Structure 1
Amino acid sequence: MKPKIVQFEEKLIVGISTEMSLVQNKTSELWKSFRGRTKEILNRSSEYFISLQQYPSSYVENFDPHKKFVKWACVEVDAVENMPLGMGRLVVEGGLYAVFNYKGNAENAPAFFQYIYGEWIPNSEYILDDRPQFEVLDAKYKNNDPTSEEEVWVPIKTK
């Protein structure tokens, strides 16, 4: 499984975020509260959705499923005028990303991420960068379906 290495340009996103851990996973509730409100967001620059994680420094290196991080359910926008009440905005800094294609449901995701962090990164010419990781959910994404597909964007920099 070889990723594409992409130079990502800075993007502006709008959405809802919450703090959680893998043990106290609130992803389903986060997306339920966001999906019903996407029509309120003006200036969308694409049709896809973004699931974004802001991990603390050394989250992966010192992995603990109880450690908290911030998760966003969001979309990309060109501007943030008239932002919906209760939503936030975030500028995702540009830089290198390794883009992996994931096919499957959430059950199989831990092995997929173990490969990325445990095998691919250590054996590549890159190290993990301290920027958000995110998944792009386009028309091929089908929640919890084994045929679902998404792009996983992992922030990297040269060793």
Structure 2
Amino acid sequence: MIIETKIIEKPAFIVVGITETIHFNSSLPPSENAIANLWGRFGERIPEITGLLGWRSFGLMLQNQDNSSGAPFDYTAAVQIYQDGNIPEGMTRIEVPAARYIVLTHRGPLDGISEAFGHFWGHWLPNSPYEYDGGTRTGKYEFEFYDQRYTKPDDPNSEIDLYFPIREK
């Protein structure tokens, strides 16, 4: 369930994480898919990262608009760091550029997150004075933001913010 929608200007920030190409399988619930498996592996390696900035995790996606729906995409499970954090072997440092975002806050079990993505693409964006401003053409990421409000995948009170880069039409 979407409990809040807001537009913000977010400054650039730096993350370190593991990037994998995801071959999305829509028959699996989000709590059991390839992204969830990536988060499990990454979570075990977070203690290797120095310079963490609080308890902030990000699921970054840099979409290629030329890809067809359902095409593989790169996903990075990451944590925010200060500028001087180290990069453990097999991880990547990404500077996420400043951007204007529509932020949708999803409350509920992780398996309901697809509804929030569907709401953005199928309802909010086509009915707004904005267009999508992310992806490989602009270098702007869309991302999931996890903080202390996210507790566990099956908690009906867990919250996740979804950030979509936008610009006026």
Gaps of 5+ in 1: none
SS in 1 for 2:164: strand
Of 8, 11, 15, the residue aligned with 1:9 is 11
Distance 1:119 1:81, change over 3 A: closer
State the aligned residue count.
Answer: 155
Letter in 2 for 1:45: L
In the alignment, structure 1 residue 126 sits paired with structure 2 residue 130: yes
SS in 2 for 1:143: coil
Gaps of 5+ in 2: 27-32, 135-139
Contact 1:14 1:80 in 2 (8 A): no
Of 151, 156, 159, the residue aligned with 1:149 is 159
Of 43, 47, 54, the residue aligned with 2:62 is 54
Q: Which residue of 1 aligns with 2:92?
A: 88
The CA deviation string for residues 77-127 of structure 1, in whole angstroms up to 9 with x for no partner, is 112553211111111111100111101123322222211111111111110
Percent identity over paired residues: 28
Letter in 2 for 1:21: H
Of 66, 72, 76, the residue aligned with 1:68 is 72
Whole-Å separation in 2 of the counterparts to 1:11 and 1:58? 27
Instruction: Say which is worse superposed, 45-54 or 149-158, in terms of deviation.
Output: 45-54
Q: Show structure 1 runs of 4+ deviating over 6 A.
A: none
Contact 2:49 2:85 in 1 (8 A): no
In the alignment, structure 1 residue 101 sits paired with structure 2 residue 105: yes
Higher helix fraction (1 or 2) = 2
Whole-Å separation in 1 of the counterparts to 2:106 and 2:74? 22
Contact 1:14 1:87 in 2 (8 A): yes
Of 122, 136, 154, the residue aligned with 2:145 is 136
SS in 2 for 1:48: strand
Distance 1:98 1:126, change over 3 A: same
Instruction: Say which is worse superposed, 85-94 or 139-148, in terms of deviation.
Output: 139-148
Pairwise CA RMSD of aligned residues? 1.8
TM-score for both structures, normalised by structure 2:
0.83
The CA deviation string for residues 25-56 of structure 1, in whole angstroms up to 9 with x for no partner, is 41122111111111111111221211111211
